[in-house]
Structure 1
């Protein structure tokens, strides 16, 4: 049997980012809050929560913006930063699946075509909390292997009553109104607004048109462990495989990673599983590796969380301002990590990881490199 010949890969770079979170529009308010550990959670005023056990979330004040408009704004911001001279070759959208999803996709697709000339591949991802990281990985793979030159990935979730009620009824929302990843006495997650967009393209394309890369998407990994419909694999084996795959694809070693933006939503079982996955991959190196979960500041944006965290990790990598693991109370012996607990600025690392996991045992790892 003849051995398969590896396909030539071209570097994938990030040339534009747009974001809207509970902290406002743009990455700087989000990074400033994360770097200071200033959580955005407050009383829900967008809809009635009197009958709910948990009554806090991270959302913009006032009524929710229209999701389609927020997505188009984020796409416009990302393309404006990218300064794309020619239209991207397609749009990949990650959205929460409900009765409005189809209408949002149709409106965003049509208006993105009219505004920005995006008239190529359109895909919609609704795969729970790894939807937007899956979209990023697919976009990067298409570019890396020459199937596309420039693509836009966008994702959005805005805190709304139906999902809030489901998570509250299931006991997933934090009863004390804070998110405390990897901490003793953590009580669960809180939802948050998140709308984001990223422009990915080949390094050659960016160079030819004089664009300034913000970062590289150096590697990506995905796994499905199928351990349980909602409970994580206790040993984190699936997530560890995803991280290893991302490192292998990038041609890097665990020692090359300078920061990890963890998935950790503040759940009792999930955070332990992730800590064990990190121990499997990094071993003794974990004692010196800075780790935090930015969900402790901006909340969980469900299908949009991975892209929101990707944007934040890119800017943390560029600035050296590491996000604080907010809400922390005391060590949990089952999560022995080097957590970022105070405002910390370091020499910008060369590489960082951002991790996500979802119900059903889906796991993703995105490996970001300095531009």
Structure 2
């Protein structure tokens, strides 16, 4: 268990639903997906043609600057050390140069779909160890033609244009825009200066399964270890968790592996589960931070996000899925899970303020 509690005191968000956490949470708890035709680039020759795109013509560097300004304004702080999760390509790096000029060079995470989760875990560890009072974590991904083409060629994108996590008939993921900033700081420091604590990052865990370059270990062993590490760091037992925002993308094999991980940790009756990716899409490097924002706001509102796109039960995905929303609940603790190619897994355990 950590000695210093890690508070969330600021959030800035851009998603397919526009600016702020309010529209994002409203879509999530009512199960209203943000997927539509891709008009940002030519998809004429693609098999999949839908994604969850933010309004207008966003520029990643500008969007990151905006969410950092919003998060620090909500927290009432001028800034802090920055950890940034993004694509590792030269174009994205150049686009983000103004962010580093304004907010500092910091550290960059490019570890695919667990990049932002890893950044949050590192930030929380720095604060819990007393090495920093405050850390800014930001992440951004805007759907672009190269990655869209790679996922489409690999038949990873849902051909029917809907993300259907854990559902019978699911056929893959859909990409989505996500640009997010979070202010993490020592809860004691935040309270001394009169800041509002939105939630607490009570635990975090990371684990690899090393099974395959792009397939998860079928038994979900890596993700189960990450969840147990987060529980252990928070000194909690599985029965204290009241909600899980799952990694589930709608990929048949990955969803099954995650179900097995959940049953490994929680036994035959895991807590209520949904995947907010079913509404806002998969934001790759930014996914973990976008889903952390959804989880924080869900705890604050007492409403659980809906697992959208549901067609019917899959016998290999036996869970208490949130299907009819909004489901009113008051969990004290929730998990937000992410997995990536290469067998990387992160688990963030969030406590209500």
TM range (shorter): over 0.9
Q: Which residue of 1 aligns with 2:59?
A: 66
Distance 2:65 2:330 in 1: 31
Q: Which runs of 5+ in 1 are unaligned?
A: 1-5, 113-118
Whether 1:148 aligns to 2:141 is: no
Q: How many residues align?
A: 353
Whether 1:336 aligns to 2:318 is: yes
Q: Which residue of 1 aligns with 2:168?
A: 184
Distance 2:39 2:91 in 1: 22
Whether 1:81 aligns to 2:74 is: yes
With the length of structure 2 as denominator, give the TM-score of the two structures.
Answer: 0.98
Higher Cα radius of gyration: 1
Distance 2:90 2:169 in 1: 36
Deviation at 1:109, TM superposition (A): 1.1
Q: Which residue of 2 aligns with 1:214?
A: 198
Deviation at 1:348, TM superposition (A): 2.0
- In 1, are the aligned partners of 2:220 and 2:260 still within 8 Å (CA)? yes
Q: Which runs of 5+ in 2 are unaligned?
A: none
Whether 1:106 aligns to 2:100 is: no
Deviation at 1:344, TM superposition (A): 3.0
Distance 1:359 1:345 in 2: 32
Structure 1 segments, 4+ long, off by >6 Å, are none
- In 2, are the aligned partners of 1:224 and 1:238 still within 8 Å (CA)? yes
Q: Which residue of 2 aligns with 1:92?
A: 83
Distance 1:357 1:284 in 2: 22
Q: Which residue of 2 aligns with 1:130?
A: 114
Deviation at 1:96, TM superposition (A): 1.3
Q: Which residue of 2 aligns with 1:262?
A: 246
Whether 1:32 aligns to 2:23 is: no
1:74-115 Cα distance to aligned partner (Å, 9 max, x none):
00110111012xx44300000012122332343101123xxx
With the length of structure 1 as denominator, give the TM-score of the two structures.
Answer: 0.93
CA RMSD of aligned residues (A): 1.2
- In 2, are the aligned partners of 1:297 and 1:326 still within 8 Å (CA)? yes
Whether 1:290 aligns to 2:272 is: yes
Whether 1:167 aligns to 2:151 is: yes
Distance 1:170 1:284 in 2: 34
- In 2, are the aligned partners of 1:45 and 1:62 still within 8 Å (CA)? no
- In 2, are the aligned partners of 1:257 and 1:351 still within 8 Å (CA)? yes
Which residue of the other structure, out of 294, 315, 337, is the alignment partner of 1:312? 294
- In 1, are the aligned partners of 2:18 and 2:55 still within 8 Å (CA)? no
- In 1, are the aligned partners of 2:60 and 2:96 still within 8 Å (CA)? no
Q: Which residue of 1 aligns with 2:334?
A: 352
Deviation at 1:346, TM superposition (A): 2.5
Give the SS at the match of 1:100.
helix
Distance 2:197 2:147 in 1: 36
- In 2, are the aligned partners of 1:12 and 1:200 still within 8 Å (CA)? yes
Give the SS at the match of 1:17.
strand
Distance 1:348 1:103 in 2: 43
- In 2, are the aligned partners of 1:105 and 1:124 still within 8 Å (CA)? no
1:129-153 Cα distance to aligned partner (Å, 9 max, x none):
0000000000000000011000100
Q: Which residue of 1 aligns with 2:35?
A: 41
